[in-house]
Amino acid sequence: MCSQIIYSNIIMKNYKQFRNELQHAYPVSKWKIKLPICTQLLNLPNFDINNFLWNIRDIYTRLVSVAQDKEKLLKYCSPKLVDMMTWNYTWMIRFDCILNTQWQIKLLELNADYPDGILMHDYTYWILLNGKKNTKHLDMYLQFFDKTKTLYILYKQQFFLDSFYLEYECLLDLWYNVFIWTRDELDFYDGQCYYRWIKIEQIRSCMDMSKFTAYQMDVLSNTSVFMLNSYDLWTLANKALLQEIDHAYIPKTQFLTQDIATHVIENKDNYVIKPIDMYEWIGVYLWNATSHEDWKHLIEEYKNTNYIVQEFVDMQKIKVALYEDGGIVDKELYFDLCPHIFVKDGKIIGDGHILMRFSENRILNVAKWGGIGYLKK
């Protein structure tokens, strides 16, 4: 099913003009990765953005309530991880939602410890607005840091290197005492964290928590350094937690256990299976991407492990114009809606941009070369 999308009434730039204006948001690659980007801000007909965001905030509040119940949390997280918790939720959270074929919103999962492109979204949204400056994310981002303390931006993944260095350059321009390098450059002595003998007091991690070793997590949890986007937020993104929330946005979600394995095998077309704590669609299996025999093998292999089974929700397609391959191309693509909220000490301090991701298949992931755009607010 394909739906017509409505563009904002802003004049479209040509590809060369757009590329030249966007390059400063990619300080390392200068936009050599050429990610497909929608040519204008988008409107969805009859879509109530305020109601949408109210429900997203409500779901966040409910998730925090579940995560703060230690007894419940132990059903989903290891005792060691729960012991590391400081119950401090501070960072940006992205909610990955789709519109099903009846135009109902469904929340499939959320990224709470490591959503990408936090400041890039400001720059891209700003350029699509034809130069009308937008610092929505930057203004809230700066509320996370203590300017009097040293800050270390820690990264490993290379695909989004521009995003990390954009943060670094913005903070340098504002006279923050900030450093950027990989996790291997950090040293720990007597409960303190150091980078080349400079004491680090704050860490902004540009890595999914699943990429940390058990030793690194243990060391970081036993230092005096303040770690933003920490273990606490990682627990909120545990996909199994969604089964604790009774909300119209959330499709039925449950652990993949022996008790339901046969039903899931026999009703292959109705389900998706995924690990509770991975990223970038790693380990996710859709019914339409496997044969019956392969599906049966997967269910038998992953039952009673860290996998969930979620009701399959088909999604809408829309027609969009994208900056791609040196020009502007029209495509009919699947899409999702990814609102961002900013939280500090557990409290919501503001709404961010609503990212839209596009793909020719049902896997919507920027790291897999899907396109992006933004819903106009």
pLDDT digits (tens, 9 = 90+) for 288-340: 768 889 999 999 999 999 999 999 999 989 999 999 888 899 999 999 999 99
pLDDT value at residue 137: 96
State which of 264, 281, 311 marks the end of a domain: 311
Quick one: 15 and 58 in the same domain? yes
Relative to beta strand 317-324, strand 37-38 is antiparallel
Quick one: 113 and 13 in the same domain? yes
Q: Average pLDDT of 14-43?
A: 85
pLDDT value at residue 63: 94
Higher-pLDDT residue of 164, 287: 164
- pLDDT tier at 100 (50, 70, 90 boundaries)? very high
Q: Is the dihedral of CA 364, 241, 350, 97 positive or negative?
A: positive
Quick one: 79 and 27 in the same domain? yes
**CB of 351 within 8 A of CB of 53?**
yes
Residue 141 lies in a domain: no
CB atoms within 10 A of CB 259: 11
Distances in Å between the Cα of 44 and the Cα atoms of 11, 65, 313 are: 18, 32, 19
State which of 227, 260, 294 marks the end of a domain: 227
Quick one: 2 and 114 in the same domain? yes
- What single DSSP character describes residue 252? P
Residue 106 lies in a domain: yes
pLDDT value at residue 8: 59
**CB of 245 within 8 A of CB of 66?**
yes
Higher-pLDDT residue of 210, 251: 251
3-state secondary structure of 65: helix
The domain tally of the chain equals 3
Adjacency order of strands within the sheet including 186-189:
186-189, 192-195, 198-200
CA dist 213 and 203 (Å) reads 17
Q: Average pLDDT of 180-193?
A: 79
Residue 259 lies in a domain: yes
Quick one: 124 and 242 in the same domain? yes
Quick one: 347 and 318 in the same domain? yes
Q: Residue 274: pLDDT above 90?
A: yes
Q: Residue 362: pLDDT above 90?
A: no
pLDDT value at residue 231: 76
Quick one: 8 and 95 in the same domain? yes
Q: Residue 33: pLDDT above 80?
A: no
Quick one: 126 and 171 in the same domain? no
Range of the domain at 69: 1-130+236-251+313-377
Quick one: 210 and 187 in the same domain? yes
Q: Average pLDDT of 95-107?
A: 95
**CB of 304 within 8 A of CB of 257?**
yes
pLDDT value at residue 141: 95
Q: Residue 223: pLDDT above 80?
A: no
| Cα 51–Cα 54–Cα 55 angle in degrees, nearest 5 | 90
Residue 137 lies in a domain: no
- pLDDT tier at 375 (50, 70, 90 boundaries)? very high
Which residue is it, tokens 């791609």?
A: 324
User: The tokens of 50 are what?
Assistant: 């305020």
State which of 274, 291, 311 marks the end of a domain: 311
Quick one: 369 and 292 in the same domain? no
Residue 283 lies in a domain: yes
Relative to beta strand 37-38, strand 202-206 is unpaired
Residue 202 lies in a domain: yes
Determine which of 109-118, 142-151, 266-275, 345-354 has the lowest per-residue pLDDT on average.
Answer: 109-118
Q: Is the dihedral of CA 290, 296, 300, 306 positive or negative?
A: positive
pLDDT value at residue 280: 65
Quick one: 114 and 155 in the same domain? no
- Supply the CATH number for residue 183's domain: 3.40.50
Residue 171 lies in a domain: yes
Average confidence score pLDDT of the chain: 87
3-state secondary structure of 105: strand
Q: Residue 183: pLDDT above 90?
A: no
Q: Residue 104: pLDDT above 80?
A: yes
Task: Read off the amino acid at residue 311.
Answer: E
Q: What are phi and psi of 324, to 5 degrees?
A: -160, 140
pLDDT value at residue 1: 47
Relative to beta strand 226-227, strand 285-286 is unpaired
- Supply the CATH number for residue 294's domain: 3.30.1490
Residue 360 lies in a domain: yes
- Residue 184 CB partners (closer than 8 Å, separation 6+): none
Quick one: 99 and 14 in the same domain? yes
